[in-house]
Amino acid sequence: MGKIAFIFPGQGAQSVGMAKDVFDGIPASRQVIESADKALGFSLSSIIFDGPDQELKQTYNTQPALLAASVAYLEAFREKGITPDYVAGHSLGEYSALVASGVLTLEEAVGIVRARGEYMEQAVPGGQGAMAAVLGADREALNNLCLSVSEEGNPVELANINCPGQIVISGSAEGVAAVSGRVKEIGGKRAIPLEVSGPFHSSLMREAADRLATKLANATLSAPAVPVVANVTALPVSDPEEIRSLLVEQVYSPVLWHDSVEWMISQGVDTFVEIGPGSVLTGLIKKIDKSVKLININSITSINELETL
């Protein structure tokens, strides 16, 4: 019997109305969303269920909303009695993974990611930072190109190592534009600008990371019940203090998603259950290894139709 990993999506997977079906149909899921509202002191649920989309897309709303929706699906799915061998999440999704493994309570986590979203949005004035998805480029060649553009005074770095042929770059608007314009020189196909409010996972986020460190210093982190594979190292982490420091680093470091998935597969994981809105991570994993089993838990129907793993 192979091992199972629960994985949780990051920013970009959100949509107005997400988790409404489990909120209406499953008491444990309803409790998650209501707890998030209470912890934040405002109606996050009305933004999740009714939007408008522009409101949900604000980073400081997106982050707690996606976390609450993912954990609501997790609670609905728990009724199946399946326990994972590992948990992991993509960027913001790492917080859903930490709630799933018992490191953070949902109430504490929504407060942290609400603040994280604010800090990230405020770290760089609008229009000065950017991100782009580079398709078809070799990782090392792209990294070298980023280094050479950065040396010219326009910082740009690898931000998300998603899967073969898909790497997101992040940094100054000038740096991202310069690298985007030169991807064909290194054998890449093209660069697609991303709709984001800042240069996430780049060194321009250090101020946000420092502010998050202060916020996290007051948080209670428990030892995980299930190993959490960290974005920064692509390795499992179990010491609460190490988790705390990695969450700070994560804000300005690349998300090693490709490496994390490969590491879990190397440990015998053959089933990945993506829990939360959308199916972005499932698509990425298909490009990493076609032989693993992929399951999406993103609706009450998907839970009811699941016979067995």
Of the three residues 165, 196, 227, the one that is the final residue of a domain is 196
pLDDT at 134: 98
Tell whether 182 and 209 lie within a shared domain.
no
Q: What is the mean pLDDT of residues 280-294?
A: 97
Tell whether 178 and 71 lie within a shared domain.
no
Q: Is the pLDDT confidence value at 308 over 70? A: no
Helices (H), the chain: 20-25, 27-40, 44-50, 53-56, 59-78, 93-100, 106-123, 139-151, 173-180, 206-217, 240-250, 257-266, 280-288, 300-304
Tell whether 61 and 167 lie within a shared domain.
no
The CA-CA-CA angle for residues 34, 36, 40, to 5°, reads 120
Q: Catalytic amino acids?
A: 91, 201
> Using one digit for the tens of pLDDT, what is the confidence trace for 191-217?
999 988 789 999 999 999 999 999 999
The answer to whether residues 170 and 214 touch, using CB atoms and an 8 Å cutoff, is no
Tell whether 251 and 280 lie within a shared domain.
yes
Q: Is the pLDDT confidence value at 81 over 70? A: yes
**What domain range includes position 229?**
3-123+204-304
Query: What does pLDDT average to over the chain?
Result: 96
pLDDT at 127: 86
SS3 192: strand
Cβ atoms within 10 Å, residue 207: 15
Tell whether 12 and 151 lie within a shared domain.
no
Tell whether 163 and 142 lie within a shared domain.
yes
**CATH code of the domain covering residue 145:** 3.30.70.250
Q: Would 265 be classed as within a structural domain?
A: yes
With pLDDT > 90 as the criterion, what percentage of the chain qualifies? 95
Residue 307: band (very low, low, confident or very high) from pLDDT cuts 50, 70, 90: confident
Q: What is the mean pLDDT of residues 157-182?
A: 97
Tell whether 83 and 224 lie within a shared domain.
yes
How far is 109 from 208, CA to CA, in rounded Å?
Answer: 17
Q: Is the pLDDT confidence value at 309 over 70? A: no
Of the three residues 177, 196, 215, the one that is the final residue of a domain is 196
Give me the residues paired with residue 106 across strands. none
Q: Which two tokens stand for residue 164?
A: 């073969």
Tell whether 115 and 153 lie within a shared domain.
no
Looking at the 3D structure of the chain, how many domains does it have?
A: 2
Of the three residues 153, 179, 196, the one that is the final residue of a domain is 196
Q: Is the pLDDT confidence value at 65 over 80? A: yes
Tell whether 239 and 269 lie within a shared domain.
yes
Spatial CA neighbour of 284 closest among 81, 89, 86: 89
Tell whether 143 and 249 lie within a shared domain.
no
Q: Is the pLDDT confidence value at 148 over 80? A: yes
Residue 236: band (very low, low, confident or very high) from pLDDT cuts 50, 70, 90: very high
> Using one digit for the tens of pLDDT, what is the confidence trace for 20-54?
999 999 999 999 999 999 999 999 999 999 999 99
Q: Would 309 be classed as within a structural domain?
A: no
Q: What is the mean pLDDT of residues 86-106?
A: 98
Tell whether 239 and 184 lie within a shared domain.
no
Residue 125: band (very low, low, confident or very high) from pLDDT cuts 50, 70, 90: confident
